[in-house]
Structure 1
């Protein structure tokens, strides 16, 4: 067990070091470590609906996803591409401080290449590209190859970030392989994380969706365990009963406790609740700072385990406290760099 654990940790460190080395050579005009981009609330807006795009620009979601996929009718795909491209030209004024993303159609469709051609012709590129329905490493390779081809000759100030979607039983079974493969994306692409597409997952395996989502407990926990072990961001399922804010809060807190770094949202009323759930509270930050101060004091005295606020403290709790501080810092500054390309985690160098 220990050897497997050590091998996994070594794999993550090696992949992250390789990514840093490649990116630092490719982006000569920026800091060697790309900034960490928090995505607590990931909000979708149909790319064909200009009115909704204008409205969501005023919403305080960390991440706004202009959608070419499920949120757009088949006969509106071209209109969505045109609207998204026009929106990207104004993204610095419309979406300042946000991750302005675009979700293209899956590579299994005949739409994705036209999506990419339109989006990547924009003078101002999205911060992140979202690729749905990723079932194999071949899907990743086809997508990456097309992006690199379309961006040939362009110099980017930052990497073009990528989120991949796990939306089928097959994808969940192959998730570790997909994470490892995604960490090897060619420049200018950088894998930031995975999204769990629960509705497509349920449809794929014949699962009946319920409001409490108990049927998804195994899938969610497997998903977040695998994705976070590679220090990637893990985005939780949509809470579809958007008017039930108490239920949303319960599921959001649960997701944060599981280890998810953010959650998909479909309505502005969900944003504040979700972002609060995925942020360390002031009380939690105060606890972490106090614990770390006590830890440093006991270290200088040569002590090992010690008592803090009535609890026995050892290294795992110290690591958790460091993670709380790192997460709080990352979420409070859009220019934060955490010494690593990946999301803060208990096993990261931050911890």
Structure 2
């Protein structure tokens, strides 16, 4: 996996920074990263106000403890995107979430704008358009990309997808986009984050099933805008103590076999081969990431 500040992130909370009541609760929340939004949650006549507030928050990052700050600018297709990027660059943002990305060339323009104010930043594009899905390979390969988010609602609007079926997302319609995001992230070592979206956000059983589905599909974490989801996400994406213990046993057994000249072994009556060994190493790496905390 690329060196990424999102490697130790399980949960990302999208919090409305202009809502003082809601924002005041963020420091105490057990979330790994906070998305500082300048886009969807901010009405047009308050864009400048939100930008100034986000810049102040970046300067006062210690208020949120070890939480990673992820400011989300507006797209360059809007009147606000360029000014957002320049302000975030000057403020010293280390990672910027870029919405509705269409191509790798667009990310190149984002980098050029940042460079125009003497700044560089890691980029976290959101895949939420049909074109973005089709261009995923080149987007994931782009310099400075250290993570990618999935935007199911905007993708549904853009592609004409029916968002929900029963108690969850319309899985058949989303499966290609999600799978391509998983494979692109894996190919280029980029952490990838699904969005915890269900017909009833307060139905935590629904949310738990959706989060578990995304984890099993290959996502490395989840984004949400509903705080009660955070504990569910953290739990789902954290290796359990028994999983860590089993991973240690697999690694020790397989490495002992390799040292003795073998290529496979057994553990508790189960065959252990190289794929089991690699999976165990991944589990241990994720456990170390989460134990070590999020690095800004």
Q: Same fold (TM over 0.5)?
A: yes
Instruction: Please tell me whether the aligned partners of residues 192 and 221 of structure 2 are also in contact (alpha carbons under 8 angstroms).
Output: yes
Native 8 Å contact 1:135 1:171 kept in 2 = yes
Matched, 1:295 2:251: no
Q: 1:72 deviation in Å?
A: 1.0
CA contact (8 A) 2:11 2:234 kept: yes
The corresponding residue for 1:144 is 111
Q: 2:191 aligns with which of 233, 236, 247?
A: 233
Q: Deviations over 1:216-262 (max 9, x none)?
A: 22221122112221110111123243211111111111111111111
Q: Distance in 1 between matches of 2:27 and 2:192?
A: 24
Corresponding residue SS for 2:219: coil
Is the partner of 1:120 in helix, strand or coil? helix
Deviation string, structure 1 residues 92-137 (Cα, Å, up to 9, x no partner): 2x12211111000011111012212333333xx3342100011012
1:171 aligns with 2:132: yes
The aligned counterpart of 1:223 is 181
Structure 1's consecutive aligned runs of 4 or more residues displaced over 3 angstroms after TM superposition are: 33-37
| 2:29 matched residue in structure 1 | 59
SS in 1 for 2:12: strand
> Secondary structure of the equivalent of 1:97?
coil
Deviation at 1:35, TM superposition (A): 5.9
Residue 44 in structure 1 maps to residue 5 in structure 2: no
| 2:196–2:210 contact (8 Å) kept in structure 1 | no
- Could you tell me how far 1:34 is from its partner in structure 2? 6.8
Equivalent position to 1:200, from 131, 143, 154 = 154
> Aligned residues, how many?
290
Counterpart CA distance in 2 for 1:236 and 1:69 is 18
Counterpart check, 1:119 vs 2:80: no
Q: Distance in 1 between matches of 2:180 and 2:4?
A: 28
CA–CA distance in structure 1, aligned partners of residues 21 and 229 of structure 2: 19
Report the more deviating stretch, 259-268 or 221-230.
221-230
Distance 2:7 2:27 in 1: 18
Q: Distance in 1 between matches of 2:81 and 2:293?
A: 30
Aligned partners of 1:89 and 1:55: how far apart in 2? 19
1:68 aligns with 2:24: no
- 1:79 and 2:49 correspond: yes
1:8-47 maps to which residues of 2 (within 5 A)? Answer: 37-47=7-17
Cα RMSD after superposing both structures: 1.9
Cα pair distance change 1:36/1:193, threshold 3 Å: closer
- The CA distance in 2 between the partners of 1:305 and 1:334, in whole Å, is 34
- Is the Cα–Cα contact under 8 Å of residues 6 and 147 in structure 2 kept in the other structure? no
1: distance between equivalents of 2:48 and 2:180?
37
TM-score between both structures, scaled by the size of structure 2: 0.92
Alpha-carbon distance, 1:311 to partner: 1.4
- 1:57 aligns to what SS in structure 2? helix
Secondary structure of the 1:307 match is strand
Structure-1 separation of matches of 2:29 and 2:4: 25
- Residue 96 of structure 2: which of 129, 140, 152 is its match? 129
Which sections of structure 1, spanning at least 5 residues, go unmatched? 1-11, 17-32, 153-158, 185-189, 337-351
Deviation string for 1:53-89 (max 9, x for gaps)? 2211211111101100011111111111121122222
